[in-house]
Amino acid sequence: MFLKNTWYVGCTPNEFADKPLGRQICGEKMVFYRGPEGRAAAVEDFCPHRGAPLSLGYVEDGLLVCGYHGLKMGNDGKTAEMPGQRVRGFPCIKNYPVVERYGFVWVWPGDASKADPEQIPVPEWADNPDWAYGGGLYHINCDYRLMIDNLMDLTHETYVHSTSIGQPEIDEAPVATEVNGEEVITSRYMDNITAPPFWRMALKANHLADDVPVDRWQICRFTPPSHVMIEVGVAHAGHGGYDAPDEYKAASTVVDFITPETETSHWYFWGMARKFKPEDTNLTAQIREGQGKIFGEDLDMLEQQQQNLLDYPERKLLKLNIDAGGVQSRRILDRLLKAEQEQNEAAARGN
């Protein structure tokens, strides 16, 4: 159920700044650490000596040292040395292509020979002084596709996030869904409405009146394997909405990198990139705190939804027009998964 020949966000650099980080991704246990010359590296989290997790060890001169008996592992998956032992015959473990870019550490869990760093998405906000970014990480016990469903249908905001970004007009506004190749886009526009609490705060922070009617937009973009970028914002009504000049609006991109862990759990790298007041670090912290609480509400709902689905596996779920974004995203994933499986089977037959 996971695409493996693709790039996922594996972690952020600060997560293994002091010691190795063990993490399961797409069912594979791996360990991230700083290898030679301080470069990010990842290998299988399995010591070939006695099977101990290498993530319980430490790094010495760019080598990953097992915390059980001192075996030293290179970032190529080959044992470099071990106190008092000859290691030439030690079996190799899997190593993973890793790229540190845009504030994240990207990992390719599949066939390393197919890993192309040029396939890593280039966010509009990355390395751009006109934007500010703040985010965090949640571990969520649910199928990663349920999170994609959640993000591609924002109707739930009215109910799950009623005190922050939800409002009845979300239910009332029609939602449009389109598919462009491997990208799915759902969009909703709400004109001449009252801004909800979060967006009133954003308007005020951008030195704009927060007590006047606004036009609001939500444009959700899914791309494989599991990335969802959501353009959101409000503008003073009558100035063009989404296309309004910057001096009349507060606009942001909700950043969602979803990395499967198991069939019923995933790592959720969330954040918001905003294109107003990028120099205001206090505002970045304030938005990050508020957004973290919002996504915490999603976490509770999704985990309980997953448990219900496990408890009642025979029940079929309804598909309404508001679900089109998630449905189309799953169809793309299913098609790509089938193609990857066929490629793997063909390669196995060739061997």
Evaluate if residue 39 carries a pLDDT over 80.
Answer: yes
Mean pLDDT of 88-93: 91
Q: What is the pLDDT of residue 349?
A: 82
118-177 pLDDT, tens digit each? 999 999 898 899 999 999 999 999 999 999 999 999 988 888 888 888 888 888 899 999
Instruction: Determine the Cα–Cα distance for residues 28 and 261; give it in Å rounded to an integer.
Output: 8
What is the overall mean pLDDT for the chain? 94
Upstream peptide bond of 260 is cis (omega within 30 degrees of 0)? no
Q: What is the pLDDT of residue 213?
A: 97
252-265 pLDDT, tens digit each? 999 999 999 999 99
Evaluate if residue 210 carries a pLDDT over 90.
Answer: yes
222, 334, 225, 181: which is closest to 6 by C-alpha?
Answer: 225
195: which 2 tokens?
């801004």
Strand partners, 222: 184, 228
Please list, in sequence order, all residues whose beta carbon lies within 8 angstroms of the beta carbon of residue 134, skipping any fewer than 6 positions away.
271, 272, 284, 285, 287, 288, 291
